[in-house]
Structure 1
Amino acid sequence: MTKKHILFVDDNVEFLRAIQESLRIAEPNWSVTFTGNPEEAMDHVSKTGFDVVVADYQMPQMDGVVFLEKVQEAQPGAMRFLVSGELTPDDVLRIAFPAHQCFSKPVDIDLLRRTIRKVSALRDLMGNDVLKRLVAQCSLLPTVPNLYLELANELKSPVASIRQIELIISRDPAIAAKILQLVNSSFFGLPRKIESLGEAVNYVGVQIIKALALTVPVFSRFEGVRVKDYSPTAIWEHCWRTGVLARALAQEEDQPRSVCEDAFLAGLLHDLGKMILVANLSPLCREATALSAKKQIPTHVAEREIFGCSHAMVAAYLLGLWGIPESIIEAVGFHNDPLEAPSTEFNALAAVHAANALDHACSEGKP
């Protein structure tokens, strides 16, 4: 892992001292800056490139969300984490956009340290600084118009059904990923990571989903961007089919319910990286498609030549930033190259890899 530059901003001197002592022993190679003043912190940001910025939510001089918004503008590629006490429902969406993850007080310093290490490792696998900045700036992914309208209509209904909302969201990787980020944040104070979309929707609730739906961009503005292998509607449909098939394969292998749910979610999310790439770098996506055809190589291999990494790793980095469970990140990141993953047993990754290949073979006539 390359040397990391990290900034901690908190007016609690005791917390900063505890962090400093812990990292001095556990991470001697990290370059860490500490300050209790957000204005002073912004001065550091203007002079130093930071990989990670960790800020307190409630500081007397400046609101933590406002501070992270300033950091995002100044250093869009930085990982942004927030530390907070109790949160109200109104805080949830406000925090979820500038902050990639939120940690509740009292902070588990070892958990924070391990999170920084894990997400940094994913970041190091990104091809270049352009992609690092692009992914770090993703606070919401666009959805496709028909799913957006279907969800909006259900949410408007006076008898809106949580089950029906879940079924709609289960076909929409963009909103599903954001809900998983929210439910795994410190706001809900859950003792474990939530890997079931049904559980996530129930915990988040209709009101927060309504507020989230109002902010979700729609892919209609990209409908004029036509790139073979990167059609938003085709990718969304393929992701849903892959998720359903991956879950069925896991069930056929008598896997535990948790593995079956991981397989569905990882299948649903496995091509999020393509959406990020085509929404922001469509000319390079065309180059990847052309290179794939010219050399007769898979699209993800062509992407590595064009972008420096594949769409799978782009998605894995985003999901890591958002605090999605590791089993899902692994399945998404290695779905094209399962032999490169650390795990060897049948798991969500194996199910998604097989389901992805089967669906491509059935729908396109090739794996």
Structure 2
Amino acid sequence: MSDRILLVDDDPNVLAALRNSLRRMRDRWVVVGATSGEEALALMQEEPFAVVVTDMRMPVMDGAELLERVRDLSPTTARIILSGYSELDAVRRTVTVAHQFLAKPTEPGTLEEAIQRALSLRELVADEAVLRIVGRVDRLPSAPRVFARLTAMLGDPDVSAADVATLIERDVAMSAKILQLVNSAFFRSARRISSVEGAVRHLGFATIQKLVLTLEVFASAGAIPVNGLSHEAIQDHALAASRLASRMPGDAEARDDAGVAALLCDVGLLLLAAEATSEFRAAWEQAAATQRPLHEVEREVHGTTHAEVGAYLLGLWGLPLAVVEAVANHHAPERIPREGMSVAAAVYFADTLAAEATGEGGPFWSRPPLDESLLAAASAGDEVAKWRGLADDLSLAGRS
């Protein structure tokens, strides 16, 4: 069955050009056009669409309003905004409803690649119910008061980009969304930015401050709905795993990607805890009662885990494929190719060792032993003792 793609633009000539740019996919996709938000919604009432791509500025109903309606009508539909309107106000209006941002006019192949990416990411999540959860969520749970702390920090004339990044990285959800935005068409980065410090340097303090405020308005500050787990514990683990992953062997880009992926590994857990509370609590309680890792029980209950759910969302946001794959597989070493020290392998090692170093019990920290075949493929067997010592040091630093 062909995937259905809906393109929306009030200019018929632009709409025709967009459809023409996807002609070579006509054997695999059914591409439908609409010249208004109202027409698009009427078409969606008749038949479902896998992806909706819309212009931002349209009369009567603009792209932001349309995608908000799409989100409510069809949560599993991937939502892409297409616009040359690059002011911060546009970002603020679309930040909670668009999965990806593309510049208008698009470069050849860019739209096709974005649609293909959105479609392929659906395969990461086997459970349609979880797909619906991901689709209707417009924010991840965030720790509160980051904006207040950032404002106070910026009052210091000697503050650095590294200082600001360190503050933001304490909040996993905030880090994920800022990386999504800095790599979007609205900010037109000449190269992909894969670290929070890089985002701060690229955007500048003033823009970062505004984005943090905007994101916090939409952030949930609710507690994790189970005993024995908190936002702070998840963030401390993410930060330790990120620092460890960024010190694994590899070139600078690979280490950056590994650090980012480790920082964002558990965004899916935050999402499930906030938006599928009863299901999350049931999986947690079963894992605790049987003394098993949470991800193993999640797979039995949902057909997927928080790892795949988080990867799906990060992929829709447009983070690098290496990051998405590492997040998806950080509890599944058997799926990681035996190709040396890849980003996914580094993240798996770092996440496992950082969890082990806490000395904590319970479903979140429980991990099987390191996969020996993956260690051998990465030629890393002799490095484990050194990494374990570093993980212990990072864990102690996080608790001090």
- Structures share a fold, TM > 0.5? yes
Give the structure 1 partner of residue 62 of structure 2: 63
Question: Helix, strand or coil for the counterpart of 1:107?
Answer: coil
1:336 is matched with which residue: 331, 338, 346? Answer: 331
Partner deviation per Cα, 1:3-36 (whole Å, 9 max, x = no partner): 3221101123233323333433224121221122
Q: 1:265 to 1:60 in 2, by over 3 A?
A: same
* C-alpha contact 1:179 1:204 (8 A) present in aligned 2: no
Partner in structure 2 of residue 83 of structure 1: 82
> 8 Å contact 2:137–2:275 — kept in the other structure?
no
Larger mean Cα displacement after TM superposition, 150-159 or 333-342 = 150-159
Query: What amino acid is aligned across from residue 340 of structure 2 in structure 1?
Result: E
1: CA distance between counterparts of 2:92 and 2:220?
A: 21
Matches within 5 A, 1:93-108: 93-108=92-107
Pair 1:226-2:226 in alignment? yes
Structure 2 stretches of 5 or more lacking a match?
368-400
Distance in 2 of aligned mates of 1:343 and 1:108: 35
Cα separation, 2, equivalents of 1:361 and 1:277: 23
Distance 1:86 1:343 in 2: 44
Name the count of aligned residue pairs: 360
Q: Normalising to structure 2: TM-score of the pair? A: 0.83
Once the two structures are superposed, the pairs formed by residues 1-367 of structure 1 within 5 Å of their partners are 3-145=2-144, 150-155=149-154, 161-215=160-214, 216=216, 217=218, 220-222=221-223, 225-228=225-228, 230-248=229-247, 250=248, 253=249, 255-293=250-288, 295-342=290-337, 344-363=339-358, 364=360, 366-367=366-367
Distance in 1, matches of 2:220 and 2:87, equals: 31
Amino acid in structure 2 at the alignment position of 1:340: R
Does the C-alpha gap of structure 1 residues 27 and 340 become closer, same or farther in structure 2, counting only changes over 3 Å?
Answer: farther
Secondary structure at 2:33 match in 1: strand
Is the contact between residue 2 and residue 29 of structure 2 (CA under 8 Å) also seen in structure 1?
yes
Sequence identity of aligned pairs in percent? 36
Are the structure 2 counterparts of residues 218 and 148 from structure 1 closer, same or farther at C-alpha, using a change threshold of 3 Å? farther
How much has 1:62 moved relative to structure 2? 2.7
Structure 1 Cα separation of the partners of residues 219 and 43 of structure 2: 37
Query: Per the alignment, do residues 281 and 61 of structure 1 end up closer, same or farther by CA in structure 2, a change over 3 Å counting?
Result: closer
> Higher mean Cα deviation, 259-268 or 62-71?
62-71
| Worse-matched range after superposition: 338-347 or 192-201 | 338-347
C-alpha RMSD of the superposition = 2.3
CA shift for structure 1 position 296: 5.0
1:111 Cα offset (Å): 1.9
How far apart are the structure 2 equivalents of 1:15 and 1:51?
21
Range that drifts further, 264-273 or 334-343: 334-343
**Displacement, 1:164?**
1.7
Deviates more, 1:126-135 or 1:310-319: 126-135
1:221: how far off? 2.6
With over 3 angstroms needed to count, the CA separation of the structure-2 counterparts of 1:151 and 1:227, relative to structure 1, is farther
2:73 counterpart letter in structure 1:
A
In 2: Cα distance, 1:26 partner to 1:51 partner: 15
What are the Cα deviations for residues 249-285 of structure 1, in whole angstroms up to 9, with x where unaligned?
Answer: x2xx2x2111111111111001111111111222222
Query: How far apart in 1 are the matches of 2:278 and 2:66?
Result: 34
Name whichever of 295-304 and 5-14 sits farther off.
295-304
Moved more, 103-112 or 173-182: 103-112
Secondary structure of 1:190 counterpart: coil
